Amino acid sequence: MRWSFGGHETFVIREGWLHKGLSLLLDGPDTLVGPDAADALGVGQNMAKSIRYWLVVTGLAERHGGKRGPLDITALGKLIWDKDPYFLAQGTWWAIHIQLVNQPRAGAWCWFFNHFGQPRFERAVCIERLHQYLQLHRNKAPSRNTLERDMSCLLRCYATTVPPKREDPEDGNDCGLRELCLLYHFPGTGVYQRTAGTKNVPAELIGYNIALTRLEAQGTEGTVDLAIEALAREPGGPGAALQVNAEKLYELLQEAERTHSDYKIAGLGAERVLRFPRRAPLDWLQSYYAGLEGAHADAA
């Protein structure tokens, strides 16, 4: 599918937006795309457009009948609404991030996490590399202004400022994707830096990522052997989405193996493989939420 750009109206995923959007969608799908959507959501017209965009590109809703057609909640949207309607769990945001990394309608995300590997960079350099990539690999590149807006939105979604600064809640730049700690920004130099080292990723969300991007890993029975080196390199896979190399991914999978019987690692060096149970992507996410519920029950 061809990559698309724009659509977010320059707004990041603001706190409460996905909850509001799903709530309205469940109350009546026509309202969310109707002329009264902004009033029903309690936001401006451009913000209402942005909320619809984010619902679609995060996989929580799908559109039928063209750009102005009605929206329906997806199975992913129903699961999250049932288990984490206020989007408080970090695993929910990992699922949303993984969806974005694999979503052609979020072209800037596809490029940044799958094809731009620079660990330290300035915003202008990032935009220029994206423009060059699209000129080489795509028939028609969007305007430079569109790419600048997309990359600005992406960076504001993820980047944590160092040293931290006190932000006005009215600015609306706070986004749940920042909690994943994938990117830092140093305003003094203008440099952005990807986080190095092992990430704090729930084991079930690694499984969700793999099952989402590997058809042979989906199913209801049996296992499949997956080369860890390939999982770290391939677009959309856990290496790209979690921003880790093969060695760091191996460490994450080792930790998953220690805590979850579903994970088995075999082989040595470049021949290391993950023996992975065939399951549907949402089964992994369901297991994650079941674990949270169990932990809350034990604490009570």
What do you get for the CA distance between the two ends of the chain, in Å? 47
Q: What is the pLDDT, as a whole number, of residue 217? A: 95
Cα separation, 110 vs 241, whole angstroms: 10
> Of 54, 86, 118, which residue sits at a domain end?
86
Regarding whether 237 and 288 lie in a shared domain, the answer is yes
Cα separation, 16 vs 22, whole angstroms: 10
Regarding whether 173 and 135 lie in a shared domain, the answer is yes
Q: CATH number for the domain including 255?
A: 1.10.10
- Domain extent at residue 293: 203-299
In a domain, 2, yes or no: no
Please, which residues bridge with residue 230 across strands?
none
Q: What is the pLDDT, as a whole number, of residue 202? A: 94
Q: What is the pLDDT, as a whole number, of residue 187? A: 94
* 233 token code pair: 């390199």
Regarding whether 97 and 52 lie in a shared domain, the answer is no
Pick out the chain residues at pLDDT < 50: none
Query: What Rg value do the Cα atoms of the chain yield, rounded?
Result: 19
Q: What is the pLDDT, as a whole number, of residue 114? A: 97
Q: What is the pLDDT, as a whole number, of residue 79? A: 98
Regarding whether 219 and 264 lie in a shared domain, the answer is yes
Contact 57, 103 (CB under 8 A): yes
Q: How far is CA 26 from each of CA 61, 165, 246, rounded to the nearest angstrom?
A: 11, 37, 41
Cα separation, 76 vs 94, whole angstroms: 13
In a domain, 285, yes or no: yes
Regarding whether 216 and 163 lie in a shared domain, the answer is no
Regarding whether 131 and 79 lie in a shared domain, the answer is no
In a domain, 111, yes or no: yes
Q: What is the pLDDT, as a whole number, of residue 298? A: 64
Regarding whether 136 and 63 lie in a shared domain, the answer is no
In a domain, 231, yes or no: yes
Regarding whether 176 and 96 lie in a shared domain, the answer is yes
> Of 64, 86, 108, which residue sits at a domain end?
86
Q: What is the pLDDT, as a whole number, of residue 66? A: 67
Regarding whether 38 and 21 lie in a shared domain, the answer is yes
> Of 35, 68, 86, which residue sits at a domain end?
86
Please, which residues bridge with residue 264 across strands?
275
Regarding whether 244 and 211 lie in a shared domain, the answer is yes
Regarding whether 295 and 255 lie in a shared domain, the answer is yes
Regarding whether 143 and 173 lie in a shared domain, the answer is yes
